[in-house]
Amino acid sequence: MKADEIAQRRKEITDLLYQKNELRVHELVKKFHVSDETIRKDLAYLAQEGVLEKQHGKAILIKEKELAPVFQRTTQLSEKERITQAALAFISEEDFTIGLDQGSTIALLAKKIMPLEKRQIFTSSLAAILQLVNGTHKLFCFGGEYSTADMAFRNSGNEIYPDIQFDLCFFGSSGVKNRKGFCTSSLIDAETKRRMLKKSTKKIVLLDHTKFEKTSLVQVAPWSEIDVVITSKGLSLDYERMISAYAKLLLV
């Protein structure tokens, strides 16, 4: 069986799980016309990804952890100011097409981008768009189901702008404790981030120190797929060594 067929089946299983919260192995065997062993391998893979919990004969969706709404995430504000100011310096005159992830740190970066000369900016974040509407930039939004807490749109379907190549993308992250890459609390959000990663020439992740103190549901990508990680000073030596082995690490 081809790898893309396996990936598509696992995506469909995930979509079904989000709809029903619980799926039985025999139902999936019947639906996809594959063996019991094949479905169990699929479920084992998705369990490792943090999507579901395997139980006898069935799979249970792992609920996403609730986050505070974006504009209530005001902690570490001075820290995020330093991180986003450092991020701004990575935007060169040649970087015309920019992708922005979601989250409070990215929204703060968008505010700093607003007065720059005209760019094309793509994002799923309404919080970022609200910071940019009074500027001269050309704005494009990834559509999908709106998440009130994240102030962003979640799109688990096909790409809306399949032919776009980003000069650079800025990514936020939820907790990365005990992980070897940057993370998110949502499987659907992880898919959007991965699509952006594949299309970006330069990839930059912004993290405040609290992200190293808590875990997340899904790892989006390993540090080896990132060009620059910007975080605060005081990072533990273990994390510093891990990230620096693969990406440029900037401590501010």
pLDDT in tens, 11-23: 888 878 878 889 9
Measured between alpha carbons, how far is 104 from 7 in angstroms, rounded to an integer?
31
pTM for the whole thing?
0.74
User: How many other CB atoms are there within 10 angstroms of residue 92's CB atom?
Assistant: 10
Burial of 38-68, coded b for 16+ CB within 10 Å and e otherwise, reads bbbebbeebeebbbbeeeeebbebbebeebe
Give the SS3 label for residue 104: helix
Segment 80-90 shows an average pLDDT of 95
pLDDT of residue 156: 66
Q: What is the dihedral of CA 144, 141, 179, 91, to 10 degrees?
A: 180
Residue 69, pLDDT > 60, answer no
pLDDT of residue 155: 77
Instruction: Note whether 125 and 103 are within 8 A (CB).
Output: yes
pLDDT range class, residue 207, cuts 50, 70, 90:
very high
Both structure tokens of 172: 């936020």
- Beta carbons within 8 Å of 8's beta carbon, 6+ residues apart: none
Both structure tokens of 166: 């980003």
Instruction: Note whether 65 and 232 are within 8 A (CB).
Output: no
Strand partners, 168: 98, 202
Both structure tokens of 184: 């998110």
Both structure tokens of 9: 């089946």
Both structure tokens of 65: 């952890």
Measured between alpha carbons, how far is 234 from 199 in angstroms, rounded to an integer?
32
Measured between alpha carbons, how far is 95 from 92 in angstroms, rounded to an integer?
5
pLDDT, tens digit, 9 for 90 and up, residues 104-145:
899 999 999 999 999 999 999 999 999 999 899 999 998 888
Higher pLDDT: 158 or 207? It is: 207
CA distance to 76, 85, 169, 212, 233, per residue, from 250 (Å) = 17, 12, 16, 15, 9
Residue (of 149, 213, 223, 161) closest to 186 by Cα position: 149
Residue 159, pLDDT > 80, answer no
pLDDT, tens digit, 9 for 90 and up, residues 163-195:
899 999 999 999 998 889 999 988 788 888 999
pLDDT of residue 75: 53
Three state DSSP letters for 20-84: HCEEEHHHHHHHHCCCHHHHHHHHHHHHHCCCEEEECCEEEECCCCCCCCHHHCCCCHHHHHHHH
**φ and ψ at residue 26, rounded to 5 degrees:** -65, -30
